[in-house]
Every structure is written in C-alpha cells, then in structure tokens.
Chain A
Amino acid sequence: MNHREDLKALIDHELSPQRAKEVREAVEKDILLQAELHEMETIGQAIREMAVQPEPVGLEKTLSALEANKRPLPWWNRIPRGLTLGTLGGVAAIALAVVLLPKALQRPAMDDASADFGSTSTVAAASKKASVLDNSKGAMSNSELFAPKAASADAPAAAGGVMDGFTEGKSLPAKAADVTIQVREIAKAETAIRSLVGDLKGTVEKANVMNRSTGQSQAEFVIRVPQGQLKAFLHDVKRQGSVIADDFKETNIEPEVKDLQSKADAETKNAQEIGEIQNRSKVTSEQIRLRDEKRKAEESRAQAQKRIATLKSQIVMSTVRVKLLTDRHKKIDPAPNKGG
C-alpha cells in the first residue's frame, strides 16, 4: 500500500492505530518519506501561524435581525408606506359591504364546505383573488376581510357556526389529502408551500425536513387549510414538482358526531344521578366509590366532547399531508469518493 498518501493523515492523527504504525515504520526506513513528512508539517504550521484573523463585526446587527425575524409583524405594520388614503378608503368600503351583506356570504361558505370537492365557492375565490392581488402589490392582506368565517385559522372557535348547519341535517364531510411530490429543491418548494399556507390562512402543524445540509433530502409537512380553499391549495402545491402519489379522502362525520353527542349526554345524566346518590349516602366507603364513578363519567363525557370538537374542526380545516422528495434522494452513495 502507498504510504505517501497517508503522510498527511499521519500528521493529523487521523489514521487507525494499525495503519499509523505501518506508516510510521515505513517513514523510519525511508529518508524521502521523512523529508516529505517534515515539509508537510512545516507548511501546516506556517499556515496556522500566518493565517489572517479577521475581527468579527456585525453581531448586534445579526441579533436585531433574529429578533425581527422571530414573529411576523402585525398587519398594521405591514401596510406599505406609499399606500394612499384612497386605497385605504376602498378597502374600508369593501369591508363595510361584506359586513352589511345579510348572511349572504356565510351561506355560500357553508355550502362550499358541503359541496363536491371539485367546486369552489365564490367567497373562497374572491378571497384567493384578493390574496393574489395583495401579493402582487405587497399590500396588506385583504383576504382577512374577504375570508368566510369558516376560513378562520381558529378552527374550534369557527366550528360552532358550521355545526349549526350540521344540526339542521346538512351532511358536512371532513376532507383530507396526501400528496407526494418530487421537487428539484426542498428549500424552494418548502418556501412556496409555506407562502401558500399563509395566503390561505392555514397552518403548518408539523414539518420534518431531513438531511437539509447535504442537499439530499426529503421533507414531510402536515398542513391545515380551510376546507373551502383545499382545491386551490392542492392545485398550487402540485405545481411545485411532479406528483408521485395523490390520495384524497372524504369522510362524513355526521354518524360519529351523533353517537358521541348521545354518549356525552348519557354520561352527563349519569354523573348527575351519581352525584345525587352520593349526596344521600351516609356511608363513607360508598361515597368514595360513587365519587370515583362520577369522576369516570365526567372524564368519559369530556373525552366525547373533545372528540366532537376535533371532528368539528376537521369540517372547517382540512388536513393535507405533503411529502417532498428530491430527484437526488435516490442517488445517495455512501462509498467514499476516491477522487481528489
């Protein structure tokens, strides 16, 4: 084996003990190797001693940038300085018109949630259009003004309105999608997807990006978007690369919610009855047993109500799992590169 190629690694103590011993023995026997070893040591030492030591500047600026980047600015700080009073007046007029329309915009929002996946509501389209216009101008997001109640990021709070429709007998399916896309660059696709999510008032609930530093990576995201915006979102997400897998699920939650509601009601009644018996009982051990039973009934009711709330939120916000793969992902070669 060529000992010359391992001279530098010998100096750097990066050889295995066995190999280091072999190379050291070879060096002791060969005067040329000794000379080369000495030269390498001299050059390395010179580089270390003579290297420039730049004086760091800009730490405070970086800390300020990190602080500013910590959370997005409130919307009033995002209004461009050049925005005129006329534009603001126009926005205010539109907002007023939306508020004054008697429930007209709420019904399409609910209809959209119950409609076929292929359709898009007028309100949602208007929201999307407004959002696109805002992006092109860099202005304040008007989609907040246009967005239907169901499109609020605060899903549980908004769910009540939708569930009013549910109790009236409307079938409101929960929708979910799984998409796997092959992209050129994970980082670019991630940025685009996060931007889309922001535009549509959605949230990224989970993000898992692997091997970002090597560029050979994959990423998985769990995203919640308003159900009315699901179609537009999926359309734009699929444009980030070539679609490898695409799965769409639609579940009618009505039977499960009804069952859960019955269970919650029964447990409420049960807890009340146990409480009354407990109050009448004069035996301590019996009181303790009844207290435990009552607690179990209340826990069971709370679980049912929690599950109902989750299901309600699924009507409002659809879950989308997006998996991104790079075309380099399959080409990871663990074998060391021999080339210099």
Chain B
Amino acid sequence: MQAVPGRHMRGEALEIAELARQYYDSVYRFCARRIGPDCAADAAQDTFLTAQKALRNFRGESSIKTWLLGIAHNECRRICRSRRIEPATVPLIEVASMDQTETLINRRALQDALAKLSDEHRDVVVLHEIEGLSYEEISVIVGIPEGTVKSRLHHAFLNLRRSLAITTEAPRGENR
C-alpha cells in the first residue's frame, strides 16, 4: 500500500516512518550510485529528514518516489560539494563478476566509458537505464525539461559508443 503524505498532519511522524520503510532501499541505491556506498547512508538519512520537514508541502504532483529521489538528488549534490566527492570515480558496473567472456561488452570498458561521461550525462543514464525512470520522472528529479533529458541521453549514448569503440562492422549476437 502506498502511503499518502499530507493527508494527516498529526500523523506526520508515522507517515514519514512508513515512507522510509517503503522507499529507503530505492533512495539508498540511488545515492550509492551517485556518491558511493560510503556516503549513501548519510545522504539517504538526510533525504528523509528533509522530506519530514517538507511533507506538508507535498502536493502529489509527482509520485512519492520521484519526489523523494528529487530530494536525494539535491542531498547528493550537497554532499558531493561538501566532501569533495568525484562522481566519476563511483563504480556503476559490477567489474568483479566472472562472466566477462559471455558478453559482447567488457565490464571494465563499460565502467571506464561511464566514468568518462560528464556528470550530467551520467546522471540521466543512471536514472533511466539503472533506476528505470521515465524521461518525465527524470525531468522532475533533475529539474530540467523532458527535451533536455532526451537530448542528454542521446549524446550520452553517442559518447558511450565512441568510448566502447563498437564498430558497425563487428559481428553481433555471436557471444550473447
């Protein structure tokens, strides 16, 4: 069941706890992919503390998850600035896995290619491909128009293709 914030003013503490139980994992993973697992718990906690204060102002114009990830996005940026974290150094790909030979794309090469992306491009790639969010949801979280989300994803994939140097002549599907 999805909790509806803002409905019961006096039940605020109960509701935010309910939201935390329901969405903590999503928020934590989102933060871990942005600023690394070391600071993710702090960012996730700050996200829910901020949400606790802002809960009464939530109008339901976006989903609760999108609203929380929007707060988490800002918290991650703040922590990045204050702790001088370089988002490009945060691992996004499971490099240690043993099944490298079974895939067309090398894991380490993919991690390197993602690290080479600008922060803006990496953000939209992570939000869309890994978090599974729509262009509209990304636009709310990052605070940019949907057209910009589309454009950034296009350019991000262009850069990934260049970095991975996948040529159109190479045989495909043989190792998949």
A52 close to B (CB within 8 Å)? yes
Q: Is A66 interfacial (CB 8 A cutoff)? A: yes
Query: How far apart are the CA atoms of A62 and B130 in the complex, in Å?
Result: 24
Give Cα distance in the complex from A54 to B152, angstroms. 25
Contact of B44 (CB < 8 Å), options: A7, A53, A58, A209: A58
Tell me if B29 is interfacial: C-beta within 8 Å of chain A.
yes
A48 to B148, CA, bound (A): 22
Given contacts A70-B13, A336-B148, 4 further A-B contacts (CB under 8 A): A6-B154, A54-B37, A58-B28, A213-B70
- Interchain CA distance A30-B74 in the complex, whole Å: 42
Is B49 in contact with A65, judged by CB distance below 8 angstroms?
yes
Residues on A close to B: CB < 8 A? Answer: 5-9, 12, 14, 32, 35-36, 38-40, 42-44, 46-54, 56-59, 61-63, 65-67, 69-70, 207-210, 212-215, 334-340
| Tally of chain B residues near chain A (CB < 8 A) | 66
Inter-chain CA distance A69–B74, complex, in Å, is 20
Interchain CA distance A337-B49 in the complex, whole Å: 32
Residue B168 lies at the interface, judged by CB distance under 8 Å to chain A: yes
Question: Do A212 and B144 touch across chains, with their CB atoms under 8 A apart?
Answer: no
A340 surroundings in chain B (CB, below 8 A): 121, 151-152, 154-155
B49 touching A8, Cβ below 8 Å: no
Residues of A within 8 A of B29 (CB): 53-54, 56
In the assembly, what is the distance between CA of A57 and CA of B16, in Å?
A: 18
| Contact (Cβ within 8 A) A57 B41 | yes
B40 to chain A, nearest CB (A): 7
User: Quick check: is B105 within 8 A (CB to CB) of the other chain?
Assistant: yes
- 21 A-B residue pairings within 8 Å (CB atoms): A9-B154, A12-B153, A36-B168, A42-B104, A43-B161, A46-B105, A50-B93, A52-B93, A54-B37, A56-B24, A58-B28, A61-B45, A62-B45, A62-B48, A66-B17, A212-B57, A213-B70, A213-B143, A334-B145, A336-B145, A340-B152
- A-B CB proximity, top 5 nearest: A336-B147, A58-B41, A340-B155, A54-B32, A35-B168
A67 to B21, CA, bound (A): 13
B140 touches A213 (CB 8 A): yes
Interface string of B11-50 (1 = CB under 8 A from A): 0110011001100110011001100010011001100110
**Cross-chain contact B145 with A335 (CB below 8 angstroms):** yes
- Complex CA gap A32/B169 in Å reads 10
Contact call B57/A50, Cβ cutoff below 8 A: no
Interface residues of B in 66-123 (CB under 8 A from A): 67, 70-71, 74, 91-94, 97, 103-105, 107, 110, 114, 121
A226–B57 CA distance with the chains assembled, in angstroms: 26
What B residues does A337 contact at CB under 8 A? Answer: 144-145, 147-148, 151
Name the one of A32, A39, A65, A67 contacting B166, with C-beta atoms under 8 angstroms: A39
Q: Are A52 and B91 in contact (CB under 8 A)?
A: yes
CB neighbours of A66 from chain B (8 A): 13, 16-17, 20, 48-49, 52
Kindly state the separation between the CA atoms of A70 and B15 in the bound complex, as whole angstroms: 11
**Least CB separation from B110: chain A residue:** A46
User: Contact at A209–B54, with CB atoms within 8 Å?
Assistant: yes
The residues of B that contact A212 with a CB separation of less than 8 Å are 54, 57
Question: Do A40 and B157 contact each other (CB < 8 Å), given the known contacts A59-B24, A66-B49?
Answer: yes
Q: Contact string, B132-176, partner A, CB cutoff 8 A, digits 1/0?
A: 001100001101111110111111010011001010100010000
Query: Which chain A residues border B24 with CB–CB below 8 Å?
Result: 56, 58-59, 62
A67 is contacted by which of B13, B54, B91, B154 (Cβ under 8 Å)?
B13
Q: Is the CB of A338 within 8 A of B147?
A: yes
Inter-chain CA distance A276–B165, complex, in Å, is 100
Q: A8-B153, A62-B44, A337-B145 are in contact. Are A42 and B94 (CB under 8 A)?
A: no
Cβ–Cβ < 8 Å partners of B48 in chain A: 62, 65-66
